[in-house]
Amino acid sequence: MTRIAYRRPEEMTERARELTFARGNLNVYRALANAEKVFTGWMLAGRAALTSPVLPIRLRELIVVRTAYLMDCPYELGQHNDVARTAGVDNDEIKVVSSDSDWQTGYFNALELAVLHLTTELLTTRSVSAAVFDQVHKALGSEATVEVLMVINRYSGLALMLNALDVDLDETARLPIPDCESSICQRGGRSRYRPESRL
């Protein structure tokens, strides 16, 4: 049961309301909108992360689900299991990426595995060995590597807020991912990095 009252959209500034509706008017946004002086900036940071074409959406969602699992965040898992599926992650893959070690064999390509290793090591030890880091950096380059780290940044921090407020998972509403309404975000997608061709 969410521990604070939701802000009603009509109580928000116009900008905050627009951003909230554009992202499905989810419980997470209506809860965090209580921080009205910083909410708009936080939403803009999220929009930038969700609309950047640098990372394939499938790769981004693998990072999000892995982060949600390691941060023990039921809300993020509830939302992003569905978003990940839309982004081309199948049910078995979602299951293993939300487990301690099953993801390491048989499911993911070399780049995805390297990114999942980095995510796991960073969230469990708060740092990353040079070898694991370099593998990702060599494969993705600097821009995409920073974006990978910013996804971990955002969703680990968000997990703390969701857990602290104990936000209820929305019954049916899910984060809309416009690019996924067509088939372009299936494996590889149209983004600049094609996991199959790297590593």
Partner 1 sequence: MSRIPLTNIEQQPEPIRQFMARRGDLNVLRLLANAPNVFGGWAQMVDEMFDSPTFSRRMRELIILRVAHLQGSPYELGQHTGLARAAGLTEQQINAVVGTGDLDAAGFSRTERTALDVVTELCSTHRLRDESFAAAHGVFGDEAFTELLMIISCYYGLALVLNAVDLDLDTTARFQP
Q: By the criterion CB under 8 A, which residues form the site for partner 1? A: 3-5, 31-32, 34-38, 40-42, 44-49, 51-54, 71-73, 118, 122-123, 126-128, 130, 133-134, 137, 142-147, 149-150, 152-161, 163-166
Burial class (CB in 10 A: 0-12, 13-18, 19+), 161: middle
Q: How far is the CB of 90 from partner 1 (least distance, A)?
A: 28
Phi first, then psi: give them for residue 18, nearest 5 degrees: -55, -45
Q: How far is the CB of 179 from partner 1 (least distance, A)?
A: 14
CA dist list (Å): 73 to 3, 66, 114, 170? 15, 10, 23, 14
- Give 34 or 197: the residue with its C-beta nearer to partner 1: 34
- Give 90 or 184: the residue with its C-beta nearer to partner 1: 184
- Give 107 or 111: the residue with its C-beta nearer to partner 1: 111
Phi first, then psi: give them for residue 76, nearest 5 degrees: -60, -40
Q: How far is the CB of 159 from partner 1 (least distance, A)?
A: 7
Q: How far is the CB of 147 from partner 1 (least distance, A)?
A: 5
Task: Of 67, 47, 73, 1, give the one whose Cα is nearest residue 175.
Answer: 47
Task: Of 112, 99, 102, give the one whose Cα is nearest residue 70.
Answer: 99
